[in-house]
Structures are given as structure tokens and as C-alpha cells.
Amino acid sequence: MVTDERDRWTLEDITALFDGLFMSRYQTRLVRGDDEPLYRPASQAMPYHQVIFARGFYASALHEISHWCIAGAKRRELEDYGYWYLPDGRNAEQQQAFEQAEIAPQALESLFTRACGRVFHVSVDNLGGDVEVDREAFAAKVLARAQRYQREGLPLRANAFFEALTAFYQRNEPLRDAIAQGLDILEQIPERSSS
């Protein structure tokens, strides 16, 4: 149970919630990484999949979890889900493609962030680019997608994680109880297979 505002958002808690929900059923763990986030599928050397978030940043963990919650079974067998990623410094066309690919994950991230009682900030992630980025227009698209998720329902894994976050951070339930509530959601509905 969270009792001190300083300790409200610990990496140990977010890791325990994620691993408690997804390690057994999906053989996937949340892992603190270095400079760059990465999704790494299981291999002979590593018996479980890894959602690796950057530099111990809580917001990075939520963002990477959002990507994982959207990726279908085939994508989860590929490093970084088989998606392209161009680093900071994208041109206008590349930035538009980046933003289009980021709407749904950032919409989920916004819902996860609010469930934790934190403030969400969109990321256009192109500080060194030579193109003018319309942060407000992108934020509006992310908000609209989050509202659509709220109306139509979240993907199964996202819904389970959202419920666990809400139980732990909003209702101050113990970790084990928050995890149990998320697991109940996972058990109720079989996951649809997607790419």
C-alpha cells in the first residue's frame, strides 16, 4: 500500500505489477535498461521476453508497456516488435510516420499514467529534427484515441494492467490484490490473435 508521496511511484512496484500479471501467462518481464528502450523476445540465452525501459524512468516503463499491450503474438516474437525506429532528427515525412505509429501507444500510456495518479505528457521525440512539430495537434489525436479506448474498451492486456494500476494507485489496495484483479480480467476473455 502506498503511504508516502515520495515513494508513490517506485520501479519496484511497477515491475511487480507487470511481472505479476504477465510473467506466468506471457513469459514476459519488465526490465530496467540503459539509454534506449527495447523489446527483446525470449531466446536460448534468455528464457523470457523482456520489455526494457530506459534509464529507470517510470514514464518510460509505462510507455514501453503500452507498446507491448498493443503488439500481437507475431509481433511479440520480433525484436522491437519488428517496427522501424528512426532516432531524433527526423524529417517531416519521417516525423509524420512516427507520430501516426505513436498515437495508440501514447493513448494507452496516458490512461496508464492517469491510473497511477501522474500527469501525462505526449512525446513527439524529435528535438534535433529540422521540422516544425505541432505538439498540440498530436496531443489532440492522442487524447481522441484515449477517449475511444475508454468508450470501446482497452485491449485485453492493457485492460488488465489498467485495472491493476487503478486498484493499487487509486484504491490503495495491496500489490497482491491489485495483481489478482488484473489476472481476473486476463482469465475471463481469451486474447484475440493479431499481428
- According to DSSP, residue 193 is labeled P
Opening angle at CA 23, ends 81 and 148, nearest 5: 55
User: 39: helix, coil or strand?
Assistant: strand
Mean pLDDT of 106-131: 86
Predicted local confidence at residue 114, as pLDDT:
97
pLDDT of 66-82, one tens digit each?
Answer: 999 999 999 999 999 98
pLDDT of 20-69, one tens digit each?
Answer: 999 999 999 999 999 889 999 999 999 999 999 998 899 999 999 999 99
Question: Among all chains, which residue has been given the C-alpha cell 474498451?
Answer: 153
Predicted local confidence at residue 127, as pLDDT:
55
Collect all residues with Cβ–Cβ distance below 8 Å to 72 and sequence separation of at least 6.
193, 194, 195
For residue 161 the three cell numbers come to 494492467
Collect all residues with Cβ–Cβ distance below 8 Å to 185 and sequence separation of at least 6.
156, 159, 160, 163
- Given a cut of 70, whether residue 11 has pLDDT beyond it is yes
* pTM for the structure as a whole: 0.90
